[in-house]
Amino acid sequence: MQPYYTHRPRHDMPSKTRTAGPRTPARLSPDITEIIPRLYMSDLSCAENSALLAALGITHVLSAMRGAVAVPPSVQQKQIPLEDHPFAELAAHLPGATSFVRDALRDGDARVLVHCAQGVSRSASVVSAFLIAQYGWTPQQAVQYVKEKRAAAEPNFGFVAQLQEYADSIKAAGS
């Protein structure tokens, strides 16, 4: 019996989705997205790819995950020890994370990479928090913008709720 599709998948094209299973050539393609100028989001494999970091001129890496991350010594790194589940405490880390990104981007030559293991939930939440703090966006605006730039981005529901708390705290501090 022949399969219902008429063509074979092209493994030489970059993959937009991450699936379980053996690494194929498509999955070896860099999975990195520029969200705003000089602010990138990716998975762990890109964060540990020193050739890719050098090619993009990445000067700062914010790791939103537990465990060791091997970045070159020339790159400044901040790590948020964060699990990817809805009840993980994200909000406590957001002021420091957004300050790290903001301070780095003040240098016109700096480029920042925010990553987590898959480049889906934790990193999307941290980048969204930066957009909320920097531009005064609502959490919905920030998350939608990140999703438009990076289709795989999908903050979990607990992180979205904590983004709202963060936005409320910024608004209260500005009153």
Tell me: the pLDDT tens digits for 42-97?
999 999 999 999 999 999 999 999 999 999 999 999 999 999 999 999 999 999 99
Q: Which residues are part of the catalytic machinery? A: 116
pLDDT above 80 (res 26): no
Residue 171 pLDDT class (50, 70, 90 cuts): very high
- Which pTM does this prediction carry? 0.83
Contact 131, 146 (CB under 8 A): yes
Averaged pLDDT of the chain: 87
Tell me: the pLDDT tens digits for 136-150?
999 999 999 999 999
- Domain 33-174 fold is Protein-Tyrosine Phosphatase; Chain A (3.90.190)
pLDDT above 80 (res 4): no
Domain boundaries, the chain: 33-174
Report the candidate in 139, 127, 131, 135 with the shortest Cα–Cα distance to residue 167. 139
Considering all CA atoms of the chain, what is the largest pairwise distance in Å, rounded to the nearest integer?
68
